[in-house]
Amino acid sequence: MIEISNLSKCYGEYKALKDISLSMQRGSIYGLLGPNGAGKTTLISSLVGLHTFDSGTIRVEGQNIKEHLAYIQSISSLIPQELAFYPTLTAAENLEYFAGMLGLKGGALKSRIDEVIYLTQLSDAYSKEAQTYSGGLKRRLNIAIGLLSDPKIIYLDEPTVGIDPQSRNFILESIKKMKDDNRLIVYTSHYMNEVEFLCDKIAIIDHGKIIQEGNLNTILAKAKATVKTSHEVLEVDIELLSDTLARLTKDGQKVESIEYGHNLENYFLKMTDKKLRD
């Protein structure tokens, strides 16, 4: 559905994206992970036509974005991390405005608004000003606006920031259902447990480069073991496990536990290192 080949983008001297190539398919949730400033937002902005890029190609459903931007925008929707709506308008007024901007009108506009209200469970807050909503309600309205166009591709940029566990659970379950309609969901988050719960495939991006890409289960199930002793925690390749255990015994260390497979958070930190990125 989305084919990205050798995509590069510079801001002056700074290289935000370096030769990125990715492939994303319908009916899946694709996790885009990376520390702050890694290039995720630049990549998504390029995919929805907010930014131009310097070299490479982006094809969506076989269409080149440079030639068919309007069509690609008509089947895509960006749900930004910011609460991109008008706080002094009600949910109804916000939804009507954005639906109107999408070109919907009359009965079609009303029925689509009803659908997204149902999907995001906004009916109780429908006629209250958005500035009075809780964090969770605001996030749901943000998502509802993004669903108005009934998009085939949805870009969700950290949709669960600053909300309570109930709202988070509702949003995650809703996102999981969205892919059942043969949609492609591109999901970015700093919450690794969310990515593990939702995503079929992930790409880890850092310093503008893809440093790991693949099926989430494959990555997590890679032959690794975490050995915990009374003194340290070691992550070792499975082939080296017996040698490591022998060495630990010889050194007089007591092995407390051995866990097989990766924890995504540990893996992410290992791939992107632990240095602060603010």
Least CB distance from residue 106 to other proteins, whole Å? 9
Cα angle, residue 22 at apex, residues 14 and 25 outer, rounded to 5°: 140
Give the tokens for residue 252: 């007089």
Q: Does 141 bind other proteins (CB under 8 A)?
A: no
Residue 217: its H or E element: helix 216-221
Query: What DSSP letter does each residue of 115-153 carry, written as one string?
Result: HHHHHHT-GGGTTSBGGGS-HHHHHHHHHHHHHTT--SE
Q: Is 178 helix (H, G, I), strand (E, B) or coil?
A: helix
Q: How far is the CB of 151 from other proteins (least distance, A)?
A: 10
The one-letter amino acid code at 83 reads L
Total residues contacting other proteins by CB under 8 A comes to: 33
Read off the DSSP letter of residue 235.
E
Two tokens, residue 266 = 């540990």
Q: Which is nearer to other proteins, 99 or 117 (CB)?
A: 99
Half-sphere exposure of 156 (CA within 13 A, CB side): 34
Residue 201 bridge partners (DSSP): 30, 215
Per-residue x/- marks for other proteins, 67-106, CB under 8 A? Answer: --xx--xx-xxx-xxxxxxx-xx---x--xxxxxxxx-x-
Q: Is 32 helix (H, G, I), strand (E, B) or coil?
A: strand
Give the nearest distance from C-beta 241 to other proteins in angstroms.
Answer: 48
CA angle, 141 then 102 then 40, to 5°: 60
Which residue number, 85 or 268, has a Cβ lying nearer to other proteins? 85
Query: CB count, 10 Å around CB of 96?
Result: 17
> Least distance in Å: CB of 273 to other proteins?
30
The contact pattern for other proteins, residues 6-45, with x = CB under 8 A and - = no contact, is: ---------------------------------------x
Q: Would you say 113 or 245 has its CB closer to other proteins?
A: 113
Query: In what helix (H) or strand (E) does residue 7 lie, and over which residues does it extend?
Result: strand 2-11
Task: Name the minimum Å distance from CB 254 to other proteins.
Answer: 53
Nearer to other proteins, 77 or 272 (CB): 77
By the rule CB under 8 A, 129 interacts with other proteins: yes
Q: How far is the CB of 70 from other proteins (least distance, A)?
A: 5
Taking contact as CB under 8 A, which single stretch among the options 48-56, 168-176, 219-227, 253-261 is the one that binds other proteins? 48-56
The distance from CA 75 to its chain's CA centroid, rounded to whole angstroms, is 18
The one-letter code for the residue type at 221 is A
Q: How far is the CB of 35 from other proteins (least distance, A)?
A: 21
Is 255 a binder of other proteins (CB under 8 A)? no
Task: Kindly tell me which residue out of 1, 2, 144, 145 binds other proteins, with binding defined by CB under 8 A.
Answer: 145
List residues binding other proteins (CB under 8 A): 45, 48-50, 69-70, 73-74, 76-78, 80-86, 88-89, 93, 96-103, 105, 129, 145, 149
